[in-house]
Amino acid sequence: MDDPLSVGFLGYRFMGKAHANALARLPMFFPDAPSVERDVLVGTDEDALAEAKERLGFARTATDWRDVVDDVDVFYNLGPNFLHVEPSVAALEAGTHVLCEKPLAPTTEGAERMVQAARDSDATAGCAFNYRFVPALQYAKNLVEAGELGEIHQFRGWYLQDWLVDPDAPWSWRNDAELAGSGALGDLGAHTVDLANFLVGERTGPIERVSGHLRTFVDERPDPETGEPKPVTVDDAYSAQAEFASGAMGTFEASRFATGHRNDHHVAVHGSKGSLRFSLERLNELEVLREGDRGYETVLVTDADDPYVDHWWPPGHVVGWEHTFVHENAEFLRSVASGTQYEPDFEDAMAVQRVLDAIAESDETGAWVSVDG
Amino acid sequence: MDDPLSVGFLGYRFMGKAHANALARLPMFFPDAPSVERDVLVGTDEDALAEAKERLGFARTATDWRDVVDDVDVFYNLGPNFLHVEPSVAALEAGTHVLCEKPLAPTTEGAERMVQAARDSDATAGCAFNYRFVPALQYAKNLVEAGELGEIHQFRGWYLQDWLVDPDAPWSWRNDAELAGSGALGDLGAHTVDLANFLVGERTGPIERVSGHLRTFVDERPDPETGEPKPVTVDDAYSAQAEFASGAMGTFEASRFATGHRNDHHVAVHGSKGSLRFSLERLNELEVLREGDRGYETVLVTDADDPYVDHWWPPGHVVGWEHTFVHENAEFLRSVASGTQYEPDFEDAMAVQRVLDAIAESDETGAWVSVDG
Amino acid sequence: MDDPLSVGFLGYRFMGKAHANALARLPMFFPDAPSVERDVLVGTDEDALAEAKERLGFARTATDWRDVVDDVDVFYNLGPNFLHVEPSVAALEAGTHVLCEKPLAPTTEGAERMVQAARDSDATAGCAFNYRFVPALQYAKNLVEAGELGEIHQFRGWYLQDWLVDPDAPWSWRNDAELAGSGALGDLGAHTVDLANFLVGERTGPIERVSGHLRTFVDERPDPETGEPKPVTVDDAYSAQAEFASGAMGTFEASRFATGHRNDHHVAVHGSKGSLRFSLERLNELEVLREGDRGYETVLVTDADDPYVDHWWPPGHVVGWEHTFVHENAEFLRSVASGTQYEPDFEDAMAVQRVLDAIAESDETGAWVSVDG
Amino acid sequence: MDDPLSVGFLGYRFMGKAHANALARLPMFFPDAPSVERDVLVGTDEDALAEAKERLGFARTATDWRDVVDDVDVFYNLGPNFLHVEPSVAALEAGTHVLCEKPLAPTTEGAERMVQAARDSDATAGCAFNYRFVPALQYAKNLVEAGELGEIHQFRGWYLQDWLVDPDAPWSWRNDAELAGSGALGDLGAHTVDLANFLVGERTGPIERVSGHLRTFVDERPDPETGEPKPVTVDDAYSAQAEFASGAMGTFEASRFATGHRNDHHVAVHGSKGSLRFSLERLNELEVLREGDRGYETVLVTDADDPYVDHWWPPGHVVGWEHTFVHENAEFLRSVASGTQYEPDFEDAMAVQRVLDAIAESDETGAWVSVDG
């Protein structure tokens, strides 16, 4: 057996836990995936870092990512958005493989630097759009690409959360334009736009132009430490209209103010022969309408021949949100080990970023904006 | 008892049948509504007209609406859109009450003439937005206006049909811009915009500006008689973004190409305290999330104290689409008989029309458009 | 045109209203059905009767059914269960057609007298199991009989209501064994057993033996007039297990204590090739799983070629509970007019009654009971 | 830190994988749970055993459980039902803690021996009814025990699968009465009866008497190796009626022939104040109707203060079937380490077994059977 790939993580909170868990589960469920050594965990709060190292099963810690990016085989950039660019670029320049959380960067310039670094490097650069690895969505993509829905007329997606509806919910870096880039648009919309590209892009071509609408419902929020009001400089919700190259229509929405919706990412596709619907809160299910059907069939995508399912449990034994990370890591590490192309890569993430940028620009100009690229 | 109100209908197909049925059902279920005599049915195809007169229970027929509009107490304009203006204006000028199907007119100018005629007349002028009379939606409106949802942040509506997805579906007046005004936008979007005004308008104020996107997927369709291709000059689908006076966001969509959706009119409202959802294909149900709830409660709006329900059946005995017309007619005729204000009137319909016009204009200019008014 | 059939109703409350409405709607929607004259309404409370006569559109009233049963062409027995036997038998002996509400009679002896009277009469005798006339259930029956579900293994039905869960809900004749025969079993279970026979009986043969369980949760209830407690002598809920002639299994349940369920009649069928599910509160829908499908398809049974739908509205325009009565009356009156066999007839109702009797007997003996017949 | 508990597993297939995964996940998600060493894996097929040892992370293997039961701290009996008794009893007699899969044993005598061994031992004996550890069901139990549903009137449960509906599906030990004890009744019904005890038992008392119905639809199946037909001596489906000590009613069903249902375990509870519903295929959701509600509220039981959820992910990030095993193992190992009582123990499992035995006996005698105990 080859030596295990040594891995360093920047970030040990939500995404750190999700990816560490994924790596820990590979040997039992994806025994053919490359073996991995959780080597070093990077962070600044040394106490929290030490605790996380133990819990997440890492060998050591570091407080400066500069010491790490050329010292491991694979660098996971799981920090806040404003830390995506420099460490990822440095790692790629050092020939270290990179898996970076989405969205790629808070600014287009930063994202372009990342793409260029990926182009210039022999290392693999992946962006962690984990929803591509929901079995039901891979099944959906296969249906679309096999032509079962015919010509695609409409893609509709919305991502509803409610964790900011309380005006007294505390300020965080996610409310700051410089640190986060944007709000619901970048955090949630990135997922929806990527799923549009993933699910129907092969049929519709790329999104060519968009019209956007951003809205901040609560303008300032209390600093979690001082209680003093701090300005909210990102959107609480956005909507967008889009035209794909094929002429297909798209509509996109996200909100952090949709009371009662915790994590409701919904996508719908309507084609000339069929339709499909998916909701993240019921992620084992896909609603499918094929040619000749009269209504949607609720397919529980847990059969043995469904994507990834043979690695897990018998039919009807549902998986959870975290399983998408296991699939993603298995695929990414296989690409790393074999030197094959990984999708979604930084170009794919850049394609998303361009759409998000155009939506934000459209909100400012009040006019449709062409998507560069 | 007073003399019954004599009624004339222009149109005897889909909407003619729906309103004739409503009138026929009033005595048994709304015994307090004014009594009505189905007097005269107006149309041009004499054979079809004669058959319809018998079936719909009218006393006589006429082939020219000009002979009728001043000869009845109430004139129902149920003809195609291009016939909405002249007969309605003539009736109002003659002091005859008018109930006109939506949308008000194919052009703004026509609609403005209708509004002016209504202002200048002592007669009652109503526009038949029947979905206001779904018990579940009246219940929803009451919740919103009682503040149960708090400040309204978002209104989202979509109306999905699929009857044109077959490219060989025959051409009809509904595919022609001159005859119909617009396509999915006018036919379906009118309902959604009116429901937005009805459900949340009291809280959000009017829609102030919009951005629109119209799309025709199939450019020509076979003439039903000759089979020759005729151009489709209206939209098959539209989307729109909107801003209400309060700053609330709106999104609107409709399609005649949403494969598998027969008549799926869906509205959702998200407020600071709660949310609600409704779907026309399950019109007895309202999904409601109130302050303190963790998820939507599926309310079967068929209890004795729900709007209009005491007129019908015991709890749990569901009503259908047609019942909205019975409620609408009961309310309209009461206003006629008592001389009180009826809603939705021509002004309400004009408010819808201005939004639809702004959406269409935005589609042409590629920029947000302010809603006049 | 033939003379209209003169009709007399015993009963003018819930069922009287439902059938009067059905008759009133036939000319517009089922113009080929025989024409009917709502002639005489029978009851004992003269004031209520006079009001109902006007509202339900009858020509006259009577206070003794004996004066009516041979004086009309068709006699509708819509009175409480304890009034089902004598008037129905008298009418049939007079050669008058009879449509009697379900269940047939409070006792087997009474039901047998009714069946015998029907056999001895040339008149048509129908029992008003209206749920056979739900379009979705006729569609379901067609699927089963076409073999789309294969060999039928299981029928499962439950009928949940909650109108008695309040222990202070007042006593009524429905709580009395002598007047009603039984409680949830007779009132609700009769519908479920009849649907089993209707939907799968052709494939499974009749129910041959049953095991039953009846339960009264609240033993006495206040008299609505005096407030004094009166004994409840019928079941509040029942369950039953059944074996069909083919060896298929059946389970049946009903409750008037299922908090939150207003009128939830649910049936499910599982066969070797497919399954189906139906719920009365969403009566326009049928969930169907055919051979090769992976999940249930939610079919909105409102297309033009669905049973009875062409009489009503375009696809997606849902009908309500009351429409089942219109279909039932159209079919019954056609049988009356043409002299053809009507189903469900008194024999069909007797088959239901025998199953209910066996369930009740099993509850007493604690053993399985063979269904006579 | 204490020495880790050494663990031996009998069985390495479905349940072996589920429990090994659970143990592997404890350190990251339940850091306070006792630490565990996956020591020895017991089986007979040495090649498969060696592969499983590597994949499931065990230190060594053994081919005779007799060599293991007194050599580890905790013995997991995950073998087929016919291997539940002897190894479990031997382990308990050796003072080794035992977690045994359900149902307890193929025969009452065997189960009684296990219970007696547990009573006589200082070691902890748990039975692996994992569905007690679904967060939504713990939440449900809390609602019931807090009185939110009032007096419990009805418990209804069904467990539908379809993996045997194909008559050519191969014979396995699960089709043999001696090896498995019973079929759908023991395999699936055990879960449903245990959930009844768990959810409502505190309110209703135990099930006192039952009436059962078992059915084998396909009498013989091909031997997977020879293809020769072998007799099926267990039930393919069962139904049962039950009476609880409080007078509450119960109904129970399971099937391996419910076409289209992969793993649909559904329970419903109706009380005087409220109701609830749960389905295993949507295991993150609970439908709850509380006093004053008009319909079921669909609660996504993934909030931070829901049972076990703080160990996992933020609100709305759903968990899967396997998580129930992690919770179960955390609780069991805590009881082992602390010497506190674990539930469900062998007595709880015996209570289930007695109900299942009574159901089977009732099927044979055709009469209601009292549940011993």
Confidence category of residue A106, pLDDT binned at 50, 70, 90: confident
Least CB–CB distance from C296: residue in A294, A298, A303:
A298
pLDDT the model gives residue B271: 98
Do C195 and C144 share a structural domain? yes
| Residues A265, A184: Cα–Cα separation, whole Å | 12
| Residues C271, C248: Cα–Cα separation, whole Å | 9
Backbone φ, ψ for residue B70 (5° rounding)? -105, 15
Q: Compute the nearest-CA separation of A152 from chain C (Å).
A: 21
Question: Number of structural domains, chain D?
Answer: 2
Q: Compute the nearest-CA separation of B310 from chain C (Å).
A: 12
* Domain termination residue (choose one: B89, B107, B127): B127
Do B167 and B77 share a structural domain? no
Q: Please indicate, yes or no, if residue C332 is contained in any of the structural domains.
A: no
By the CB < 8 Å criterion, does B261 face chain A? yes
Q: Please indicate, yes or no, if residue D144 is contained in any of the structural domains.
A: yes
Backbone φ, ψ for residue D259 (5° rounding)? -50, 125
Residue contact A259–B270, C-beta within 8 A: yes
pLDDT the model gives residue D180: 86
Tokens representing A282 are: 């019921």
**CATH number assigned to the domain comprising residue A249:** 3.30.360.10
Phi/psi-derived region of residue D126, left when phi > 0, alpha when psi is between -120 and 50, beta in every other case: beta
pLDDT the model gives residue D130: 98
Residue contact B299–D299, C-beta within 8 A: no
Do A242 and A153 share a structural domain? yes
Chain A contacts in chain D segment 57-86 (CB below 8 A): 57
Is residue C1 pLDDT above 60, yes or no?
no
| Closest Cα in chain D to A28 | D55
Q: Compute the nearest-CA separation of D29 from chain B (Å).
A: 25
Which of B13, B14, B33 has the alpha carbon at shortest distance from B23? B33
Residue pairs spanning A and B at CB distance below 8 A:
118
Do B151 and B117 share a structural domain? no
By the CB < 8 Å criterion, does B290 face chain A? no
Those residues whose C-beta lies under 8 Å from the C-beta of residue B157, and which sit 6 or more positions away, are B192, B193, B195, B196, B250, B251, B252, B253, B265, B266, B267, B268
Which residues in chain D have Cβ-Cβ distances shorter than 8 Å to C212?
Answer: 241
By the CB < 8 Å criterion, does B92 face chain A? no
Chains contacting D (3 or more CB pairs within 8 Å): A, B, C
By the CB < 8 Å criterion, does A155 face chain B? no
Least CB–CB distance from D366: residue in C217, C258, C367:
C367
Q: Please indicate, yes or no, if residue C331 is contained in any of the structural domains.
A: no
pLDDT the model gives residue A181: 84
By the CB < 8 Å criterion, does A261 face chain B? yes
Amino acid at the residue A44: T
Do C232 and C171 share a structural domain? yes
| Residues D192, D309: Cα–Cα separation, whole Å | 24
Q: Please indicate, yes or no, if residue B332 is contained in any of the structural domains.
A: no
Distances (CA, A) of D44 to D41, D64, D173: 10, 8, 16
**Pairing of the two strands C36-42 and C5-10:** parallel
| Closest Cα in chain A to C289 | A297
Is residue D319 pLDDT above 70, yes or no?
yes
pLDDT the model gives residue B106: 86
Amino acid at the residue D174: R
Q: Could you tell me what percent of chain A has a pLDDT over 70?
A: 99
Which residues in chain D have Cβ-Cβ distances shorter than 8 Å to B299?
Answer: 294-295
Is residue A1 pLDDT above 70, yes or no?
no
Do D227 and D206 share a structural domain? yes
Instruction: Report whether C283 contacts C139 (CB < 8 A).
Output: no
For an interface test with D, the pick among C151, C153, C293 (most D C-beta atoms closer than 10 Å) comes out as C153
Q: Please indicate, yes or no, if residue A345 is contained in any of the structural domains.
A: no
- Average confidence score pLDDT of chain D: 96
Structural element, H or E, at residue A39: strand A36-42
Residue contact C298–A298, C-beta within 8 A: yes
Least CB–CB distance from A20: residue in D24, D28, D282:
D28
Mean pLDDT confidence for A87-97: 98
Q: Compute the nearest-CA separation of B172 from chain C (Å).
A: 16
**Pairing of the two strands D5-10 and D74-77:** parallel
Instruction: Report whether B320 contacts B280 (CB < 8 A).
Output: no
Task: Give residue C286's Cα distance to chain centre.
Answer: 20
Which residues in chain A have Cβ-Cβ distances shorter than 8 Å to D317?
Answer: 263, 320-322
Do B315 and B254 share a structural domain? yes
By the CB < 8 Å criterion, does A99 face chain C? no
By the CB < 8 Å criterion, does B165 face chain C? no
Which residues in chain D have Cβ-Cβ distances shorter than 8 Å to A319?
Answer: 320-322
Mean pLDDT confidence for D307-316: 97
Do C123 and C153 share a structural domain? no
By the CB < 8 Å criterion, does B17 face chain C? yes
Q: Compute the nearest-CA separation of B188 from chain C (Å).
A: 14
* Domain termination residue (choose one: A127, A155, A172): A127
Mean pLDDT confidence for D252-265: 97
Least CB–CB distance from A253: residue in B251, B257, B271:
B251
Q: What is the pLDDT of residues A151-196, one digit of tens each?
A: 999 999 999 999 999 999 999 999 999 888 889 999 999 999 999 9
Asked whether the CA dihedral B163, B169, B173, B177 is positive or negative, the reply is positive
For an interface test with B, the pick among D291, D294, D302 (most B C-beta atoms closer than 10 Å) comes out as D294
Q: Could you tell me what percent of chain A has a pLDDT over 90?
A: 95
Which residues in chain D have Cβ-Cβ distances shorter than 8 Å to B295?
Answer: 285, 297-300
Which of C232, C33, C51, C273 has the alpha carbon at shortest distance from C149? C273
| Residues B55, B68: Cα–Cα separation, whole Å | 20
By the CB < 8 Å criterion, does A318 face chain C? no
pLDDT the model gives residue C320: 98
Residue pairs spanning B and C at CB distance below 8 A:
105
**CATH number assigned to the domain comprising residue D67:** 3.40.50.720
pLDDT the model gives residue D200: 98
Do D111 and D20 share a structural domain? yes
Q: Please indicate, yes or no, if residue A332 is contained in any of the structural domains.
A: no
By the CB < 8 Å criterion, does D27 face chain A? yes
Q: Compute the nearest-CA separation of C312 from chain B (Å).
A: 9
CA angle B325, B327, B332 (to 5 degrees): 90
Asked whether the CA dihedral C12, C16, C21, C27 is positive or negative, the reply is negative
Q: What is the pLDDT of residues C354-371, one digit of tens each?
A: 999 999 999 999 999 999
Residue contact D318–A281, C-beta within 8 A: yes
Do C120 and C140 share a structural domain? no
Which burial class, exposed, middle or buried, applies to C21 when counting CB atoms under 10 A from its CB (0-12, 13-18, 19+)?
buried
Is residue D148 pLDDT above 90, yes or no?
yes
Which residues in chain B have Cβ-Cβ distances shorter than 8 Å to C14?
Answer: 313-314
Q: Which residues of C315-328 are buried (b: 16+ CB within 10 A; e: fewer)?
A: bbbbbbbbbbbbbb
Q: How many alpha carbons lie under 13 Å from residue D200 in its C-beta half-sphere? A: 31
By the CB < 8 Å criterion, does A359 face chain B? no
Least CB–CB distance from D215: residue in C237, C249, C260:
C249
pLDDT the model gives residue C373: 61
Do C55 and C160 share a structural domain? no
Task: Give residue B275's Cα distance to chain centre.
Answer: 24
pLDDT the model gives residue A344: 98
By the CB < 8 Å criterion, does A310 face chain D? no
- Tell me which DSSP letter residue A265 carries: E
By the CB < 8 Å criterion, does C315 face chain B? yes
| Closest Cα in chain C to B159 | C316
For an interface test with B, the pick among D297, D299, D301, D305 (most B C-beta atoms closer than 10 Å) comes out as D297
Q: How many alpha carbons lie under 13 Å from residue A29 in its C-beta half-sphere? A: 28
C184 DSSP β-pair partners: none
pLDDT the model gives residue B373: 60
Domain that holds residue A102: 5-127
* Average pLDDT per 10 consecutive residues for chain B, totaling 373 residues: 89 97 97 97 96 97 97 96 95 98 91 97 98 98 98 98 95 91 94 98 98 97 95 97 98 98 97 98 97 97 97 97 98 97 97 96 97 79
Which residues in chain D have Cβ-Cβ distances shorter than 8 Å to A315?
Answer: 163, 262-263
pLDDT the model gives residue A373: 61
Q: Please indicate, yes or no, if residue D325 is contained in any of the structural domains.
A: no
* Domain termination residue (choose one: A127, A154, A188): A127
Residue contact D270–C255, C-beta within 8 A: yes
Q: Would you tell me the crossing angle of helices B108-120 and B85-93 to the nearest 10 degrees?
A: 10
| Residues D241, C212: Cα–Cα separation, whole Å | 8
Residue contact C239–D251, C-beta within 8 A: yes
pLDDT the model gives residue D179: 87
Mean pLDDT confidence for C216-242: 96
**Distance between terminal CA atoms of chain B?**
43
Q: Please indicate, yes or no, if residue C105 is contained in any of the structural domains.
A: yes
Is residue C214 pLDDT above 70, yes or no?
yes
Least CB–CB distance from D315: residue in A20, A263, A317:
A263
Q: How many CB atoms lie within 10 A of CB C42?
A: 29
By the CB < 8 Å criterion, does D293 face chain B? yes
Residue contact C260–D251, C-beta within 8 A: no
Task: Give residue B163's Cα distance to chain centre.
Answer: 19
Do A143 and A47 share a structural domain? no
E strands present in chain C: 5-10, 36-42, 60-62, 74-77, 97-100, 125-127, 152-160, 207-215, 220-222, 229-231, 237-244, 249-255, 264-271, 275-279, 285-289, 297-300, 369-370
